[in-house]
Chain A
Amino acid sequence: MTDLLQREAKTRGHIPGESSMWFFVIGDLIIFAGYFLAYMYYRGQDPELFLESQARLNLDIGAANTVVLLTSSLFVALGTSAARSEKTADGVRLIGFALTLGAAFPVLKLFEYVPEVLAGVTPGTNVFFMFYYVMTGLHLCHVMLGLVILSFVIRNLRDPARKNISFVETGATYWHMVDVLWLVLFALLYGMR
């Protein structure tokens, strides 16, 4: 109990991770919010075209990717919590699992993009597909960067000399943001009717 209280006292009044990462996360969310608003505006201009094009997306892979990212995020959270309570080996294992799951995202995306492009559905097809390729492409760049960051988190945890909880929290914060962005993207591009 005292342990718990001490931990609580330590975490009170402190932002998880580096504050510069929070600057990035909040700014990135604002930028994406701008893109989402623009998408909604142009969707409103031609709802039939957007609905019709939306129906051509592969909802199954989109849903699978949502599950992959959500599960990966859960393991990052569990890993961070383990690292905080000095269970470093568990932390490495959990974040390693999150990284593996996260790495499935670009592979699944490839299975989505390639058949679409081969079927002649490209960014030039219409404004919906331009939004689709640009926004999912930008998000994919974020995922790739996230995978690099998670690898650095694992390296950081493995090396006792380097171990730094703040860095683990910074990586976890970034990965959760990638997850949140995907949830909105998935709802807007695949789900909205």
Chain B
Amino acid sequence: MILAPARRRPKLDQWLAFATVPFFFTLFGIVFVPLSGMMPPRSPSSSPPQIVDFMQSDSLLVACAILTLCFGLAPLSNAVYLIQIKRMSVSPVFRYSLMVGSMSGAIVGMLFPMFCFGLGAFRTGYDPSVLAMLYDFGYLAYIGSLGCFCVMWLAFGLAIILDTNSVLPKWLGYYTVWQYVTELMAAPVWIATSGPFAWNGLMTFWFAMMIYVPWQIIVYVCIHRSIKNQPDDELENA
């Protein structure tokens, strides 16, 4: 008879997956902000030579190469969140909505821009007008991809608010509702090409960032506490 050895660190799987989250977001931040200069967003009304310069820059090429290599870390971070949402007392509809929303969101919000900017960076020889279209496409997909994220954050927020197992704090649910509202605020980027509602505008980008960045950090801390407080007998792999 073989007895399974006592598991000394039953949550090791969750902690390992959890550790990829700060790594992924830090890498993401470095790639988008200082490395490629993609963020904060360039002006939607940049002149054609400015667009060509940006789209064919070496730093954008390196950024796209890193993105292509580490894209797979996004599902891992969502998996960590989903394990905790599964412990909530709410209907499974919430976690499936979140799962599918995060998948479609990552395709539109991350893969599409990666292909658009990657095409410009890796394939030289495109006409400036084609590059201008890829530039528009990339930024609109990145900032205007609101639908998927809207449903996702709403499902996450409502699940937290309605949960009676206190897996995550209630106020985080309300904070997530604001996160949902800022996604709605991104709709005007399809219409405005300058001013406060353009994709680099005060209302659509800067306000949204002021809510999003602290939110992402707070969710990270709350999920950490939630994994820590999860009783061992509740673990699915116990």
A: which residues have CB within 8 A of B? 18, 20-21, 23-24, 27-28, 31, 34-35, 38, 42, 123-124, 127, 130-131, 134, 137-138, 141
Contacts and interface: CB of A to CB of B under 8 A. Distances in A.
A24 B197 contact: no
A21 B178 CA distance: 13
A134 B188 CA distance: 8
A23 B174 contact: yes
Interface in B163-200: 169-171, 173-175, 177-178, 181, 184-185, 187-188, 191-192, 195-197
Contact of B174 (A24, A35, A123): A24
A134 B197 contact: yes
Given A123-B191, A130-B192, A138 B185 contact: yes
Given A31-B178, A42-B196, A138-B184, 9 more contacts: A21-B174, A23-B174, A24-B171, A31-B211, A130-B192, A131-B196, A137-B184, A141-B181, A141-B184
Contacts of A124: 191-192
A27 B178 contact: yes
Interface residues of B, number: 23
- Chain A contact residues: helix, strand, loop or mixed: helix
A35 B203 CA distance: 7
A123 B197 CA distance: 10
A184 B116 CA distance: 42
A23 B171 contact: yes
Contact of A18 (B170, B181, B191, B195): B170
B170 to A, nearest CB: 4
Contacts of B184: 137-138, 141
A38 B188 contact: no
Nearest to B181: A138
Contacts of B19: none
A127 B197 contact: yes
Nearest to A123: B191
A175 B157 CA distance: 19
Contact of B203 (A24, A28, A38, A137): A38
A134 B178 contact: no
Contacts of A134: 185, 187-188, 197, 203
A127 B195 contact: yes
Contacts of B195: 42, 127, 130
Contacts of A131: 196
Contacts of B202: 38
A23 B174 CA distance: 8
Nearest to B207: A34
B171 A20 contact: yes
A14 to B, nearest CB: 17
A138 B207 CA distance: 14
B175 A27 contact: yes
